[in-house]
Amino acid sequence: MKSFTMLFMVHMQFEPQKRAHSPLLVGAKRRSRPIGAAESFNSPEKRHLIDHQNQSLKLSILGKIYTMKKFLLLCFSFIVALNAPLLHAAEMVKPSGRVAILQEVLILNSYHPGYAWSDDEQAGIIDTLRTKNKNWVPVIEYLYLKRLPEGRHLAELKQLFSFKYQNKKFSAVIAIDDPALEFAIDNQEKLFGNAPIVFCGINNYTSSLLKGHSEVTGVVEAIDIAGTIESMLRLHPATQEIFNPNDYTVSGLAMRKKLEAMVPRFGAKVRFRFNDPLTMEELLEEMKRLPKNSLVLETAFITDKSGRTFDTAETTKLFYEHSPVPIYSTYEQRLGFGIVGGKLLSARIHGASAGRIALRVLAGEKASAIPVASESDSQFMFDYKVMNRFGIPLSALPEHSTVINQPVSFYATHRMVIQTASGIIVVMTIMISMLIVIIAQRRRSTILLLASEERHRDILQKAMDGILMMDMQGRLLEVNEAYCRMSGYSRQELLSTRISDLEVVETEDNTADHIQKIVAQGRDSFSTRHRRKDGSIFDIEVSTQYRPENGGQIVVFLHNITNRKIAEKNLQKSLLSAVRAIASIVELKDPYTAGHQRRVSALSLAP
């Protein structure tokens, strides 16, 4: 718009010149010229008239240009105002990071809402994806294969999905657990338009599972069954049997297969026993009859023989109430509902790992280029309340174990009261120490009076003054040996303190104000008192100087005047006693003069 306006102005500037040189205008001028006026054309009056006309013409043209320019600028502003909301909206939809989760992502859940394991996996996935866009809403479909384990409804689900998503293009499909992955792979092309698949919660993963499907990757549900069994046998060395209650769903049989693979490894130490298809009541009766030298390893019992489905917490509570022996598991969802513990896998952490892989796929990476993650995230976790029921000590647990429901110590419960009482005791101890020091100093004052003033002066001349350097917050940056001897602290101890920690007269706020005063004046001299390491107090004369380098520093010279203060006070008392004695002798001879001398002496010795 600016360039258009400039071109228009240039055109208007050249237009009068074109018009002035136009043949028609020239002819018109020639025709309007009076006959015989040629000789007077160059007269001053004519030139002045022509100049005046040219000037008027220029002003007229410039006025029109200015009016046109205002009009164009007004139009441009109007156009910008109309388009501003559209530009703002365009800015709002720009991705804020490397991945903008505006794509459609399908989460295919093998089970039903309320099943703790898949719910937590799903939550971990959603939380991870929402780190890139907190307003992102996934598309979630459930296969209900815990409640309908035969899977006869999957054909109808396939038809339903085909109708629902016939016009939808998914950027990724996230399959939770084995049935969902199998369903997604079988229908990757027909239902999901060959969208890349990311899986989690897969129990019996082998590379052949993905044969012929390149755009599939994910996280294997790598539970550490061996680690849990080892901890069980370590905590219960007399164990002869491990009972595994499992259902006969796809995931239940897969977990049984994993446990059966452990038999060769632990068969010499303990035998494994599995249940036949049972109702929950039949299974609980069998658990009641477990011998004392057995343990329970709970892995996957959700659906009983009659088809009833139980959630994870409900199953674990029932087992805990009916089992006379400790129960262990490999999943964190059961912790806190009756199991002792074990090497447990967190479903939320597991789902978050799948979510991170999904983010890479959404960012443009090929799923086939991302290797399947098979490492276990299991950690040792235990429940103190259940441990206490079976007499398992904390000292017997593996290192770095997490323990829930552990009783809180007396200190943790009453921390504030203990800290407050300790502070009061410390303050009282300091006050008592200060009183003891003051009493001791008063007792020593009699001895100090016997020392001559010359001796005191000689001691003061030979003594080295203390020197400190501190920053604007009062932290000590440097200290000399003389002040170390003076205060009783070592150099390392003083360099970890503030001047307010040594100061007796001023509070911490007073000290901060005093530092600002020194900065403003550049220097200051005053008397104060410091506290030694042993709690005793000593008087000092202080001379300070402010140095602006390194963020501001203050150099402090300290002269110990404790002895001088005491000596001056005692000498003053002695002189006053001597004057009074002399006045008494004189009074015997001249009472009037003696009384006058006594008053003069008292005034001269007044502080």
106-131 pLDDT per residue, tens: 999 999 998 888 999 999 999 999 99
Per residue in 350-386, pLDDT (tens digit) is 999 999 999 999 999 999 999 999 888 889 999 999 9
DSSP 222-271: ---HHHHHHHHHHH-TT--EEEE-B-SSHHHHHHHHHHHTTHHHHTTT-E
Whole-angstrom Cα distance, residue 279 to residue 304?
5
Rounded to 10 deg, the angle between the 453-462 and 562-589 helix axes is 160
Residue 536 has pLDDT above 80, yes or no: yes
* Confidence band of 391 (pLDDT split at 50, 70, 90): very high
pLDDT in the model for residue 342: 95
**Mean pLDDT to the nearest integer, 164-177:** 92
Residue 14 has pLDDT above 80, yes or no: no
Residue 151 has pLDDT above 50, yes or no: yes
Whole-angstrom Cα distance, residue 601 to residue 596?
9
- Contacts for 143 with CB less than 8 Å, ≥ 6 apart: 108, 109, 110, 111, 154, 157, 179, 180, 183
* Confidence band of 439 (pLDDT split at 50, 70, 90): confident
**Mean pLDDT to the nearest integer, 66-86:** 53
**Mean pLDDT to the nearest integer, 80-88:** 47
Taking phi over 0 as left and psi of -120 to 50 as alpha, with beta for the rest, 391 belongs to left
Task: Give 136 or 160, the one with higher predicted confidence.
Answer: 160
Residue 524 has pLDDT above 90, yes or no: yes
Write out the two tokens for 367: 């799923």
* Confidence band of 221 (pLDDT split at 50, 70, 90): confident
pLDDT in the model for residue 127: 94
Residue 471 has pLDDT above 50, yes or no: yes
- Give 137's strand partners: none
Residue 319 has pLDDT above 90, yes or no: yes
Which amino acid, one-letter code, is at 554? I
pLDDT in the model for residue 408: 79
Whole-angstrom Cα distance, residue 512 to residue 428?
25
pLDDT in the model for residue 457: 41
Residue 428 has pLDDT above 80, yes or no: yes
pLDDT in the model for residue 404: 93
Residue 63 has pLDDT above 70, yes or no: no
Nearest to 562 by CA among 536, 532, 540: 540
Give the pTM. 0.48
* Confidence band of 223 (pLDDT split at 50, 70, 90): confident
pLDDT in the model for residue 88: 44
3-state secondary structure of 385: helix
Strands (E), 419-572: 466-471, 476-479, 523-531, 537-547, 553-560
**Mean pLDDT to the nearest integer, 221-226:** 88
Residue 586 has pLDDT above 60, yes or no: yes
pLDDT in the model for residue 565: 84
pLDDT in the model for residue 102: 55
Residue 68: how many CB atoms within 10 A of its CB? Answer: 14
Contact 271, 293 (CB under 8 A): no
* Confidence band of 76 (pLDDT split at 50, 70, 90): low
Which of 262-266, 356-360, 457-461 is the least confident region? 457-461
Residue 90 has pLDDT above 80, yes or no: no
Share above pLDDT 90 across residues of the chain, in percent, rounded to a whole number: 49
Whole-angstrom Cα distance, residue 562 to residue 208?
90
* Confidence band of 23 (pLDDT split at 50, 70, 90): very low
**Mean pLDDT to the nearest integer, 415-423:** 89
| H/E element, 341 | strand 341-344
Task: Give 536 or 572, the one with higher predicted confidence.
Answer: 536
